[in-house]
Amino acid sequence: MARRGLPEINAGSMADIAFLLLIFFLATTTMDVDSGISRKLPPMPEEKIETPEVHKRNIFVVLVNKNNKVLAGQGVPTNKVEIDASGTYNIIENGAKKPLLEELKKFINNRRNISEFQYAPSEDKCAKVVNGCWYGDLTKNDVFVSCDGLCGNEPLIKELNKNKKQVRTTDDEGNISWQKSPFKGKVRYEYNYKLNPLADESSSDNPQKAIVSLQNQEGTSYKVYIEVQNLLTQAYNEIRREYAIEKYGMEFSQLPNCDQEYIKKRYPMKISEAETKAN
């Protein structure tokens, strides 16, 4: 038996209750986005492992000392860095003033020896034609080697296919040797080795080898340290952006993910944060 005329509940105050809750959440919500400079720390060595020797020309050291003075230089930080009124960092080399940012970019993108840029495409989900050169779309573990200067080099491609499981390497003197491929698949392309005549002989081999080492001391101020970190990031970002515009005619940030990854691999951000030196 249904009850007749169940009294209706007045829902007029519903809006008020909801408003009250709404205001509470409005007040407690934080909309700020966290942002910052991302870095990857090196893993802690488990035992004393000998660190691989890095050639002096492949390392650019920036030191922020305990008095917050910046020193920089190839291999050893011997040159003073001054900050001018507009906040630009200038490196003083043999009495000449040069902007540190430009020097860093020149160091990273020196390409003295352009034979060693290679990586396995198993990490590479990108398959496309860049600059007339085919790359990507390789079966897993095949070696992909970028083809700057190799396009249309028929004899070299034939030679490579003959030596399927080997990787052609060329040392600094230009001697060619074939080595067993560290990858399981076969080599499809190789870099045409050459010493870049436009490059600075005493600067880095290629962007993959170039390391920017940022050193600091116990008393270094965090503020200055971050400013220098920012400058180093800026150098890499500008190189990537310039390459994106040159090769794709687009801003780096507007490129599809896969192309961004390619450029990131081409110009890996190799910034080493050495441990604090005592003095």
Partner 1 sequence: MSKFKKGNNGKKMAAISTASLPDIVFMLLFFFMVTTVLREVTLQMTVSQPKASEVKKLEKKSLVNYIYIGSPIESQQDKFGRLPCIQLDDKLYRRKDVSKIYQWVKDEQAKKDEKLISRMTTSIKADEDVTMGIVTEVKTQLRKAEALKINYSTKKRE
User: Within positions 196 to 255, which residues make up the interface with partner 1, using CB under 8 A?
Assistant: 216-223, 225-227, 229-230, 233-234, 237
- Closer residue to partner 1 in complex, CB, 151/226: 226
67 binds partner 1 (CB under 8 A): no
Residue 75, phi-psi category: left (phi > 0), alpha (psi -120 to 50), beta (remainder) = left
Considering the complex, what minimum distance in angstroms separates the CB of residue 245 from partner 1? 18
At 118 the three-state DSSP class reads strand
- Applying the rule CB under 8 A, the residues between 23 and 52 that interact with partner 1 are 25-26, 28-31, 33-44
The residue with tokens 């190789």 is 190
Q: To the nearest whole angstrom, how small is the minimum distance from the Cβ of residue 37 to partner 1?
A: 5
Smaller CB distance to partner 1: residue 24 or 176? Answer: 24
11 binds partner 1 (CB under 8 A): yes
**H/E stretch holding 103:** helix 100-108
CB-based contacts of 6, cutoff 8 Å, min separation 6: none
Residue 161, both tokens: 């296919």
Nearest to 77 by CA among 90, 91, 96: 91
In eight-state DSSP terms, residue 203 is S
Beta carbon nearer to partner 1, 29 or 175: 29
Separation between Cα atoms, residue 256 and residue 125, nearest integer Å: 12
Based on the shown chain and the rule CB under 8 A, indicate whether residue 174 belongs to the binding site for partner 1. Answer: no
Shortest approach of partner 1 to residue 226 CB, angstroms? 4
| Smaller CB separation from partner 1, 36 or 52 | 36
Q: Interface residues for partner 1 in 254-273 (CB under 8 A)? A: 273
| Gap between the Cα atoms of 246 and 242, Å rounded | 6
Using the minimum distance from each CB to partner 1, give the nearer residue, 56 or 125.
125
Count residues binding partner 1 (CB under 8 A).
45
Give dist(CA 148, CA 167) in Å, integer. 17
Closest residue by Cα to residue 102 from 72, 132, 69:
72
Q: In terms of Cα–Cα distance, which of 111, 110, 144 is closest to 261?
A: 144
Is the CB of 117 or the CB of 267 nearer to partner 1? Answer: 267
Which residues here bind partner 1, judged by CB under 8 A?
11, 14-15, 18-19, 21-22, 25-26, 28-31, 33-44, 64, 216-223, 225-227, 229-230, 233-234, 237, 273, 275-276
